[in-house]
């Protein structure tokens, strides 16, 4: 399967760090990977607002409402950070179920910065090796993760990075994992 047949879901809501979505998105699109912004909104085309360093950023149109998103349609899940975004997503049962389905199917999941906080709520971190923004390392350790301060960490199908300064390494590993990903068999 070539990269043109690959589909990646980016799950976010208001307050996601803009560059943590746009940078991997652009890297994937350069390889002809189809990317969808999945969010807990009512309708396709509704917008969510990014956070850009210290203030609100641009609005981004949602490709797929979370309630209509089927994890089987995607080869990989990317979770951008931002402080507000994961804090809101972890309170959404559908978001947590969406994340868990990728782990259950052993599909790649990539989380950067604070994006890893949603993985705590999904209860998928026991005995996982990972990194994140340093301020949430204690939370991740308490959830069972083995935390390391590295630009990117790969543990089976989980990719994690610390912050926007690590995007080059993060994007490279996202591209590697999506190239290896196989579709979930239709049931």
pLDDT of residue 105: 96
- The pTM for the full model equals 0.96
Q: Give per-residue pLDDT as tens, 47-100.
A: 999 999 899 999 999 999 999 999 999 999 999 999 999 999 999 999 999 999
pLDDT of residue 184: 64
Which residues are part of the catalytic machinery?
A: 113-114
pLDDT of residue 185: 54
Domain boundaries, the chain: 3-180
Tell me the CATH number of domain 3-180, given options 3.40.50.880, 1.10.357.10, 1.10.1740.10, 3.10.180.10: 3.40.50.880
Residue 186 has pLDDT above 80, yes or no: no
pLDDT of residue 1: 53
Q: Give per-residue pLDDT as tens, 92-125.
A: 999 999 999 999 999 999 999 999 999 999 999 9
| Percentage of the chain lying above the pLDDT 70 cut | 97
pLDDT of residue 187: 40
CB 74 within 8 A of CB 36: yes
CB 48 within 8 A of CB 41: yes
Query: What is the full DSSP assignment across 117-159?
Result: HHHHHTT--TT-EE---GGGHHHHHHTT-EE---SEEEETTEE
């Amino acid at each position: 399967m070539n990269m043109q047949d690959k589909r990646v879901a980016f799950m976010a809501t208001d307050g996601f760090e803009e560059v943590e979505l746009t940078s991997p998105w652009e890297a994937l699109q350069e390889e002809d990977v189809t990317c969808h912004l999945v969010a807990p909104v009512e309708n396709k085309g509704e917008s969510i607002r990014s956070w850009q360093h210290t203030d609100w950023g641009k609005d981004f149109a949602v490709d797929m409402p979370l309630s209509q998103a089927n994890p089987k349609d995607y080869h990989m899940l990317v979770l951008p950070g931002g402080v507000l975004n994961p804090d809101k997503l972890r309170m959404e049962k559908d978001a947590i179920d969406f994340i868990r389905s990728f782990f259950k199917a052993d599909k790649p999941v990539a989380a950067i910065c604070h994006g890893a906080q949603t993985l705590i709520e999904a209860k998928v971190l026991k005995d996982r090796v990972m990194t994140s923004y340093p301020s949430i390392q204690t939370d991740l350790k308490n959830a069972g993760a083995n935390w390391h301060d590295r630009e990117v960490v790969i543990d089976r199908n989980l990719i994690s990075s610390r912050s926007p300064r690590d995007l080059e390494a993060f994007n490279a590993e996202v591209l590697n994992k999506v190239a290896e990903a196989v579709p979930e068999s239709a049931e």
